[in-house]
A = this chain, B = another copy of it.
């Protein structure tokens, strides 16, 4: 069961800079928090994103989808849950859920789809170590 992680990959405090005049986070912030989640999910596999880049694999975004479920206010502590999966042979998807750390209430959730490319931007067939990493990453 990789789709129901019990442990967040990260927690964060909502910054004042992230709140809009309705008193909740501005919508684009969700994508920045998703990125924090991906970074920490990767660190948990033992290969940080910067290590992956130095091995010649980059993961530019090709799609993003976000569902906004409830408000998050300045200084709220949020928990980020991440799972990853391959989408065919040359794409990867991260599914992210962000909750209120104190109550578990879902704040937002969504997915990002990534191409797998070499530093020059050429789409590549992911190497075996990459597929292993996706496989085992969700078991952390």
Residues of A within 8 A of B (CB): 13, 15-17, 19-23, 26-32, 35-36, 39, 48-50, 58, 60-68, 73-75, 112
Query: How far, in angstroms, from A14 to B102 measured CA to CA in the complex?
Result: 25
Query: How far, in angstroms, from A137 to B36 measured CA to CA in the complex?
Result: 30
Query: How far, in angstroms, from A29 to B20 measured CA to CA in the complex?
Result: 13
Interfacial chain B residues near A20, Cβ < 8 Å: 16-17, 19-21
Task: Enumerate the 7 nearest inter-chain pairs by beta-carbon distance, A residue then B residue, closest first.
Answer: A28-B31, A28-B28, A17-B32, A27-B61, A19-B21, A64-B66, A21-B23
Interfacial chain B residues near A74, Cβ < 8 Å: 21, 49-50
Verify A67–B60 contact, CB threshold 8 A. no
Nearest CB on B from A96, distance (A) = 13
The one of B36, B49, B63 in contact with A66, judged by C-beta atoms closer than 8 angstroms, is: B63
Query: How far, in angstroms, from A35 to B31 measured CA to CA in the complex?
Result: 15
Task: Given A16-B39, A63-B68, answer yes or no on A31-B23 (Cβ-Cβ < 8 Å).
Answer: no
